[in-house]
Amino acid sequence: MPYRTVKIQLFPKPEQEKRMLLTLHACRATYNDLNEYCRDFTKRYDEWRESMGVKEGEDASLYETETNPLPRFPSEFELTAKAGEFRGINLWRREAYGSAVREVGSRIYKAYQRWFDSLVDDSSAGLPRFRSEGKYDSFTYTAYEQYRLDTQGLFRGKKPRMFLGGIGWVRASDNGIIRRYPVSCMKQAVVSRKKMGKSNKWYITVFCEVPEVPDNRTWFMDTDVPDPVGLDLGARRVATLTDHTVVENHRTMRKNEKRIAKIQRKISKTEEGSEERRKYLGHLRHLQKRIDDSKNDVLQKATRSIVQNRTKIFVEDLSVKKLIELQDNEETRKLFRDASAGTFMRLLRYKGEETGSEIVAVNPAYTSRICTKCGMLNDPFIAVNPAYTSRICTKCGRLNDPFSEETFRCRFCGFTKHRDDNACVNVLRRGMGFDILGTSPIA
């Protein structure tokens, strides 16, 4: 059964935020205590290996004896119980929510398991670090019984509320997605903090088991929309579909570059740890959050609209990260990063799983260079003349606009079309099983 995460913003009152910060600090202190406890084990294990003469790469269990047993790393259950002991010893930690503090044992256990796995490839990998004040920003509710939605209408007519164990009823943003799933599907939830200068923003991320989508899908589908479609990723256009749907790149980061640079210059002139530096860092985080929210809003709405009305979508099987690295022009790389094509594909895939839309990856080779009319492979566009001789008119001597790289022109048949429109048709035809490379038109 697939999983889905739903993120909801919380708006706690000042006294509620104090309890949330107390729980957060208690979890961080417990994490550091358990880290010290686990580090003591690693020291004892290294001393035991040295005393028994175990060589590098040998199985240490072969040297184990009844009088000198092999030190065993504590289990997840033992670390969870140890977290409860640390909470009982410290009086101020008793005021924090007990289940959230005990869950820290699972976190530190998983952290050390990842460290053990990394030692296979790199024997010099560092131990899990201790967490300082600003490096631990979340705590977990392990079951729905520890938090809950207002399903009984206790706050009908008012702003939505969520109940958090040890905190109380906290006002939350109105997220309609969470109401689509029954409470039996909701599993653990993570409460996270994002520092914004002197203030904090709080969120809760709920993990849900998504029920299987029925075969008829009539509640998602519009039968009048043609199907299937091909989708091409790009820089100036985030996505182009064969049914003429276009997701434009709003270039949100590019529009705010000067504002970000101005704040960063102010930060560079302040002293480390000063009040003025914290103020400007808060300004920078607020601006970056507005940029991220604007970009996320566009991508969420676009991907939801695409998958709701289509049963099969053919996409290019490519790595966006490698695609950005292959670009020689810094401006083009900025465009690709601003387009967030990787985030777009991630959202498209998981929303496709929810609605039952099939996302099919196809080979992206030459889809932007094959003519959809004659099927011939064209040469890539190459800009080779920095002296503008290809743009200066030989009659009047005036400088013309550069050749648009967005336009596809076939040098064999003269067919002209937008490059992304041409590519998405090739993606669709290749996904449908046609041989798109040939010498005659393809039906």
**Looking at the structure, do residues 112 and 159 belong to the same domain, yes or no?**
yes
Rg, the chain, Cα only: 28
pLDDT digits (tens, 9 = 90+) for 324-371: 887 777 888 888 889 888 899 999 998 888 788 889 888 888 887 888
pLDDT digits (tens, 9 = 90+) for 293-302: 999 999 999 9
**Looking at the structure, do residues 118 and 160 belong to the same domain, yes or no?**
yes
**Looking at the structure, do residues 196 and 243 belong to the same domain, yes or no?**
no
**Looking at the structure, do residues 179 and 80 belong to the same domain, yes or no?**
yes
Domain count, the chain: 3
Residue 275, domain member (yes or no): no
Q: Say if CB 144 and CB 162 are below 8 A apart.
A: no
**Looking at the structure, do residues 147 and 79 belong to the same domain, yes or no?**
yes
pLDDT interval class at 2 (50, 70, 90): low
CA proximity to 250, closest of 292, 284, 289: 292
pLDDT digits (tens, 9 = 90+) for 39-64: 998 888 888 888 888 777 677 777 77
* pLDDT score recorded for residue 176: 72
Residue 60's domain spans which residues?
1-212
Q: What does DSSP say about strands 138-141 and 229-233: parallel, antiparallel, or unpaired?
A: unpaired
CA distance 434 to 443: 9
**Looking at the structure, do residues 328 and 443 belong to the same domain, yes or no?**
no
- Taking residues 216-240, what's their average pLDDT? 69
**Looking at the structure, do residues 340 and 239 belong to the same domain, yes or no?**
yes
Residue 358, domain member (yes or no): yes
pLDDT interval class at 214 (50, 70, 90): very low
**Looking at the structure, do residues 342 and 379 belong to the same domain, yes or no?**
no
* pLDDT score recorded for residue 226: 52
- Which of 318, 340, 362 is the last residue in one of the domains? 362
Residue 373, domain member (yes or no): yes
Residue 307, domain member (yes or no): yes
* pLDDT score recorded for residue 52: 80
Residue 283, domain member (yes or no): no
Q: Say if CB 196 and CB 37 are below 8 A apart.
A: no
CA distance 215 to 55: 59
- Which of 327, 362, 397 is the last residue in one of the domains? 362
Least confident range from 116-130, 150-164, 351-365: namely 150-164
**Looking at the structure, do residues 149 and 297 belong to the same domain, yes or no?**
no
- Taking residues 399-404, what's their average pLDDT? 50
Task: Give this prediction's pTM.
Answer: 0.74
**Looking at the structure, do residues 319 and 371 belong to the same domain, yes or no?**
no
pLDDT digits (tens, 9 = 90+) for 248-293: 998 998 899 999 999 999 999 999 889 899 889 989 989 998 999 9
Residue 256, domain member (yes or no): no
**Looking at the structure, do residues 70 and 113 belong to the same domain, yes or no?**
yes
Tell me: pLDDT of 377 over 70. Answer: yes
Residue 53, domain member (yes or no): yes
pLDDT digits (tens, 9 = 90+) for 80-99: 999 999 999 988 999 999 99
Tell me: pLDDT of 382 over 70. Answer: no
pLDDT interval class at 201 (50, 70, 90): very high
**Looking at the structure, do residues 240 and 376 belong to the same domain, yes or no?**
no
Least confident range from 32-36, 180-184, 218-222: namely 218-222
Residue 154, domain member (yes or no): yes
